A and B are shown apart, each in its own frame.
Chain A
């Protein structure tokens, strides 16, 4: 190869100095080209220059050469080996160049090991070889050579190291030895997985690593560094290849770690718990703790079984001591956090094997001792973590606020685990603990906050999965009776961490709704609501107001019947909020929902009274909105948000007007009929709602083209669609369609998405009430005009939602679409074929569902099937397949899964036709990497699958071939 070395040198220097991305790209391209053409000469020449950059680039060039050629002929290999070895010995290179050269030498060995003799490779080389090996898929033979030729050398090196005193060998050699050992641990694990080689007898390796724990004092940074590396190496062994330690070694390690006079005991006393030095050695402490945890995790069941044995008691006490590491978690220390997962796993053993433990002890006394020890440890751990999650002073909390709260939340989860183990007795202890923090003469807010936080977490968890709320009512009652609410006046903004205290208190209240709705609850609801309202009104923190409003909403929804006495207060508050544009929009909407929830539950059987409440509230909203609309010429952002919020209140009123349970549970048949008839014949509330909707979405010009308004109006219609009997928000379908037909003439393109979604919901929930005539009107008035205005380049959400409407019809009642008007149906089909020109995933997903529904017609009659088959066989099938295939092959890898089902449905339903269609289509499609034979092979393979799951693979492979790409995945999940 004829290369101008000076010019190459200039390119390299420029490459490492310029910051112009364009220039870097062009230089890289030129240099990469040269590297690919090289056989080692350019690399050697570059190494011979004086520039560090060129020398490093020379070493890199060797890597490219070796990776390119891989298997060398004998003479070429020999010359490369010689060049590399002599370069490695050149003491003018920096360590980066040397390391790269050694790495190249290892690479050369990996690709050409058959031609290598057992070279006297030093330990560093061996380490690098295994590191390179780990990165590559290897064959058995190479593992055998590593085992038979290299490993004995490594092993004897460690034998030699073990035969000398630690102090007689330089520190740097030990560091290298431990690094090398670490690499071998990883390699041994991989080699044993990939081959039949077993490294069964490796005592010298473990002896070497243990020797540092046995023989070193903690008196210098060098010995601590060696200890730290040994601890990491043992952790690595336990994590990736615990079989390297036999039973006796593990016993020995246990004594090393947990006996008072040996390494572990000394390390804990002299380093971990020594306040004078522990801040300096956080990494070392963290590694040590990690090792202890991993060691114990490997034998958790055994330890749990023999909990009462003195050795285990001693270890557990040691762990408790470490868990209680002094300092604020995540701010000053991490040890307690490290132990959290260990304790979680430890207590889970008792939960998972509860029955086994129960049958383990025949003797009652032993059993009693076992359970009492377990409970004592549990309580001890909980006590430590309860203390740990107490809020520190604000200035300390500020140092790592987010991590502290993450820790606190994880501790909350841990207490839920303990609750599922110790059940009610534990819960009662927690309640007692909380009670003790406010019932004594001095209020301990910090302790109370921690306890309430834990109770809130346990309540949330235990009532989410299965209701255990009945069990918890009495303990909560005792807490409330002890006067928990008396602390409320103490929660003033002046106290430190005010936000966190109030937030925890509100969350706790929110979590005891199961209690508040019982007969015990009502006497406390007044104080609670008063407190929550005061937070909404007075709090300067918007987050607190929002949390508070959410809790009020939950209480009102759950405890409606008990809250009737608060209706006048709530009404006044809501009226004030409707008039006041400074109130947060979400809070206003939640209050509307809360008020109507209570009114509805109070008037379930008196629709007339409920109707009066609704009229009054809706009128206030309509008047307020109407006045604003009339007086606003230019709508400012704030006024716009406020107006939208008033409309959202109507949605919330709709949501809270739905039945709070099953009809049968709430009414007798007569009552249900009476309520339903009342709302069916309603002439006051529904017209009022329609008037508000019309005012907002059609009459008021600034809003008529706003998709947000369309969205909320559609939501209002949706609220009643699912109701089993008539209610104030359940409108007759013609009323909704009449509105939609009008709206579609007064809306922007973005609104169409919401309109189509509403039609889809109607189809899914009320398809029995729909007929062909209605769908014909819909197609003519809504969809056909939309088809004319929008093609595959239009808004993807809108296109996919329109397709979803048709899919819902085909899924629920195909005749609706098939017989509304055959010509219109064919028009829908052709429009949907054309949408395949879009590359948007959301459209392709919708199209996939639509075409699968058309092809399979799961709910179709014989007549429906014949109609569709007829259309497909005429011309549509071929057209669909052509567009489908073209879209599939042109789309990205991540979209491929969307297509498979349509292909498979087509093949299974129209197998012979698909073959003919493909034979017509494929010859006209040409790609660089695919010839006629490949196309034929693809057709044959695809048809052989008969539409089964294996078709996915055939399609994927053809996609890869057409696009000249490779499969990245080795596994399908």
Chain B
């Protein structure tokens, strides 16, 4: 069994940020050591990356968008795109009737190669 390192991308998601806030609170209350918190956060990286893989069949929402590509870069194996005047179409593929469209001025995409995650 291999245990590759995982991206820390999802720590910025609501669930990731909430987890780190909760861990901070536990450290401040001296309920856990910072090392344990670090391990938990690393576990979180692994679990959320695994669960969001398409083969897990859990994430069924799909997002398509169009807009003007304003900036793009590829540094350290991380793609970043900044898109302006974006129309986003949200689809829940398990419920075809649940579709929604959102317009936003600016949209930032940070993307990494999931297959190479173990090589990081």
Known: A543-B97, A964-B27, A964-B28. A973 touches B2 (CB 8 A): no
Are B11 and A969 in contact, CB atoms less than 8 angstroms apart? yes
Closest CB-CB distance, B27 to chain A, in whole Å? 6
Are A402 and B94 in contact, CB atoms less than 8 angstroms apart? yes
Chain B window 1-32, contacts with chain A (Cβ cutoff 8 Å), 1 for yes, 0 for no: 11111001101100001101101100110000
Closest CB-CB distance, A454 to chain B, in whole Å? 14
Contact of A968 among B37, B96, B97 (CB under 8 A): B37
Q: Is A218 an interface residue (CB 8 A)?
A: no
Segment 41-86 of B: residues with Cβ below 8 Å from A = 41, 54, 57, 60, 62, 64, 66, 78, 80
CA distance A648 to B76 in the complex (A): 51
Residues of A within 8 A of B118 (CB): 186, 189, 239-240
Q: Is B103 an interface residue (CB 8 A)?
A: no
Residues of A within 8 A of B54 (CB): 341
CA distance A183 to B57 in the complex (A): 27
Segment 78-114 of B: residues with Cβ below 8 Å from A = 78, 80, 89, 91, 93-94, 96-97, 110
Are A894 and B9 in contact, CB atoms less than 8 angstroms apart? no
Are B66 and A189 in contact, CB atoms less than 8 angstroms apart? no
Are B2 and A185 in contact, CB atoms less than 8 angstroms apart? yes
Contact of B96 among A190, A193, A503 (CB under 8 A): A503
CA distance A427 to B85 in the complex (A): 30
Q: Is A966 an interface residue (CB 8 A)?
A: yes
Are A183 and B96 in contact, CB atoms less than 8 angstroms apart? no
Known: A186-B118, A894-B18. A236 touches B37 (CB 8 A): no
Are A966 and B1 in contact, CB atoms less than 8 angstroms apart? no
Closest CB-CB distance, A812 to chain B, in whole Å? 15
**Closest partner residue, chain A, to B2 (CB atom):** A186
Residues of A within 8 A of B20 (CB): 893-894, 968
Known: A405-B96, A543-B97. A966 touches B2 (CB 8 A): no
Residues of B within 8 A of A543 (CB): 97
CA distance A182 to B118 in the complex (A): 14
Known: A503-B97, A547-B97, A965-B34. A894 touches B64 (CB 8 A): no
Are B119 and A973 in contact, CB atoms less than 8 angstroms apart? no
Segment 542-587 of A: residues with Cβ below 8 Å from B = 543, 546-547
Contact of A186 among B3, B38, B66 (CB under 8 A): B3
Are A403 and B96 in contact, CB atoms less than 8 angstroms apart? no
**Closest partner residue, chain A, to B66 (CB atom):** A465
Known: A963-B24, A968-B41, A973-B78. A134 touches B2 (CB 8 A): yes
Residues of B within 8 A of A965 (CB): 24, 27-28, 34
CA distance A187 to B3 in the complex (A): 8
Q: How big is the A interface, by class?
A: 35 or more
Segment 214-239 of A: residues with Cβ below 8 Å from B = 236, 239
Give the size of the chain B interface in residues (CB under 8 angstroms): 40
Q: Is A507 an interface residue (CB 8 A)?
A: yes
Interface of A is mostly: helix
Q: Is A971 an interface residue (CB 8 A)?
A: yes
Chain A window 955-973, contacts with chain B (Cβ cutoff 8 Å), 1 for yes, 0 for no: 0000000011110111101
Closest CB-CB distance, B72 to chain A, in whole Å? 15
Residues of B within 8 A of A189 (CB): 2, 4, 118-119
Contact of B4 among A186, A402, A546, A971 (CB under 8 A): A186
**Residue of A131, A236, A894 contacting most chain B CB atoms (<10 Å):** A894
Closest CB-CB distance, B97 to chain A, in whole Å? 5
Residues of B within 8 A of A186 (CB): 1-4, 118
Contact of B66 among A182, A464, A973 (CB under 8 A): A464
Segment 460-493 of A: residues with Cβ below 8 Å from B = 461, 464-465
Residues of B within 8 A of A971 (CB): 8
Known: A239-B115, A893-B24. A183 touches B2 (CB 8 A): yes
Are B17 and A893 in contact, CB atoms less than 8 angstroms apart? yes
Are B97 and A546 in contact, CB atoms less than 8 angstroms apart? yes
Residues of B within 8 A of A413 (CB): 62
Residues of A within 8 A of B41 (CB): 968
Q: Is A933 an interface residue (CB 8 A)?
A: no
Are A464 and B64 in contact, CB atoms less than 8 angstroms apart? yes
Chain A window 172-206, contacts with chain B (Cβ cutoff 8 Å), 1 for yes, 0 for no: 00000001001101110110010000000000000
Interface of B is mostly: mixed
**Residue of B23, B28, B94 contacting most chain A CB atoms (<10 Å):** B94
**Residue of B1, B21, B94 contacting most chain A CB atoms (<10 Å):** B1
Segment 391-423 of A: residues with Cβ below 8 Å from B = 402-403, 405-406, 409-410, 413
Q: Is A82 an interface residue (CB 8 A)?
A: no
Known: A182-B2, A189-B2, A239-B118. A963 touches B28 (CB 8 A): yes
**Closest partner residue, chain A, to B112 (CB atom):** A973
Residues of A within 8 A of B89 (CB): 464
Closest CB-CB distance, B69 to chain A, in whole Å? 13
Closest CB-CB distance, A942 to chain B, in whole Å? 22
Residues of A within 8 A of B91 (CB): 409
CA distance A465 to B64 in the complex (A): 9
**Closest partner residue, chain B, to A453 (CB atom):** B96
Residues of A within 8 A of B80 (CB): 973
Residues of A within 8 A of B11 (CB): 968-969
Closest CB-CB distance, B46 to chain A, in whole Å? 11
Closest CB-CB distance, B1 to chain A, in whole Å? 6
Contact of A190 among B4, B8, B62 (CB under 8 A): B4
CA distance A464 to B115 in the complex (A): 29
Known: A193-B119, A968-B37, A969-B8. A182 touches B96 (CB 8 A): no
Q: Is A135 an interface residue (CB 8 A)?
A: yes
CA distance A970 to B38 in the complex (A): 11
Q: Is A892 an interface residue (CB 8 A)?
A: yes
Closest CB-CB distance, A189 to chain B, in whole Å? 6
**Closest partner residue, chain A, to B76 (CB atom):** A971
Residues of B within 8 A of A507 (CB): 96
CA distance A969 to B11 in the complex (A): 8
CA distance A98 to B81 in the complex (A): 51
Chain A window 243-268, contacts with chain B (Cβ cutoff 8 Å), 1 for yes, 0 for no: 00000000000000000000000000
Closest CB-CB distance, A468 to chain B, in whole Å? 13
Closest CB-CB distance, B7 to chain A, in whole Å? 8
**Closest partner residue, chain B, to A188 (CB atom):** B2
Residues of B within 8 A of A406 (CB): 57, 60, 93-94
CA distance A964 to B115 in the complex (A): 37
**Closest partner residue, chain B, to A193 (CB atom):** B119
Chain A window 895-939, contacts with chain B (Cβ cutoff 8 Å), 1 for yes, 0 for no: 000000000000000000000000000000000000000000000
Are A894 and B3 in contact, CB atoms less than 8 angstroms apart? no
Known: A403-B57, A966-B37. A409 touches B96 (CB 8 A): yes
**Closest partner residue, chain B, to A134 (CB atom):** B3
CA distance A444 to B30 in the complex (A): 69
CA distance A937 to B96 in the complex (A): 58
Interface CB pairs A-B, < 8 A, 28 = A134-B4, A183-B2, A185-B2, A186-B2, A189-B118, A239-B115, A240-B2, A240-B4, A405-B93, A405-B94, A406-B60, A409-B91, A409-B93, A409-B96, A464-B89, A465-B66, A503-B96, A507-B96, A543-B97, A546-B97, A892-B21, A894-B17, A894-B18, A965-B24, A966-B37, A968-B11, A968-B23, A969-B11
State the 10 A-B residue pairs at the shortest beta-carbon distance, nearest first: A186-B2, A894-B17, A409-B93, A134-B3, A892-B21, A966-B34, A402-B94, A240-B118, A968-B41, A973-B110
Binding site for A on B (CB under 8 A): 1-5, 8-9, 11-12, 17-18, 20-21, 23-24, 27-28, 34, 37-38, 41, 54, 57, 60, 62, 64, 66, 78, 80, 89, 91, 93-94, 96-97, 110, 115, 118-120
Given A402-B60, A893-B20, 16 further pairs, Cβ under 8 A: A185-B2, A186-B3, A406-B94, A409-B96, A465-B66, A507-B96, A547-B97, A892-B24, A893-B17, A893-B24, A965-B24, A965-B34, A968-B20, A968-B23, A968-B38, A968-B41
Binding site for B on A (CB under 8 A): 131, 134-135, 179, 182-183, 185-187, 189-190, 193, 236, 239-240, 341, 402-403, 405-406, 409-410, 413, 461, 464-465, 503, 507, 543, 546-547, 892-894, 963-966, 968-971, 973
